[in-house]
Amino acid sequence: MDEKIITNAKEYIKALFEGNADGHDEKHTLRVLKNAQSIASSYPESNFLLISLSALLHDVDDHKLFHTVNNENARSFLKEQGVESKKIEEICSIINAVSFSKNKGKSPETIEGKIVQDADRLDALGAIGIARTFAYGGKNGRSLSDSVQHFYDKLLLLKDSMNTEEARKLADERHKFMEEFLRELEREL
């Protein structure tokens, strides 16, 4: 049953994010899932299904992409899958703890929330984070200098906000890569 719901969630996000070119697409979501499952392997006490579904659904109600209220896309999908109300609330709680802008300085209360938040933030770092920043900036009319400013306003802060040891190691490598990129970009500019 769990695998079927995860497969259905993958199909749901594929359809929902079709045509998205701002870095919040199906591939981003699948990378977050992969990151979350990898981190979770170091935390056997964590709930694999909660982590997987939260990772897959973490952007389906993102305010930058959708005008939904109270996680209505995630709730609707989960209800259609027959997920019990208690688990839906847990998943929505995890999803709501992911956003950087809405959770500055806050760490999720559960290990599942910590893992999914870390997994999403890891995808904003390193080479993929650089690519996503410029994809989002270009789609939304940001200038090159505005996109570069985003590194200083958010991306370079992420390394120190990781909740898990596993994510901290990965974040450190990706952070160093971004710093080198910014040095090279400054030289070229």
* pLDDT confidence of residue 54: 97
Alpha carbon distances (Å) from 95 to 42, 117, 167? 21, 8, 18
Q: Give the Cα separation of 149 and 125 in Å (integer).
A: 15
* pLDDT confidence of residue 123: 96
* pLDDT confidence of residue 162: 96
Q: Give the Cα separation of 74 and 30 in Å (integer).
A: 16
Alpha carbon distances (Å) from 103 to 81, 113, 117, 128? 29, 12, 10, 22
Residues of the chain with pLDDT under 50: none
* pLDDT confidence of residue 110: 95
* pLDDT confidence of residue 131: 95
Residue 88 is part of which domain span?
2-188
* pLDDT confidence of residue 60: 95
**Scanning the structure block, which residue is given the tokens 């390394």?**
159
* pLDDT confidence of residue 14: 95
The angle formed by the CA atoms of residues 23, 17 and 13, to the nearest 5 degrees, is 115
* pLDDT confidence of residue 157: 94
* pLDDT confidence of residue 20: 85
Q: Give the Cα separation of 57 and 52 in Å (integer).
A: 9
Alpha carbon distances (Å) from 42 to 30, 54, 76, 91, 136? 19, 18, 31, 20, 32
* pLDDT confidence of residue 22: 82
- Residue 47: which CATH number? 1.10.3210.50
pTM comes to 0.93
Domain total for the chain?
Answer: 1
- Mean pLDDT of the chain, nearest integer: 94
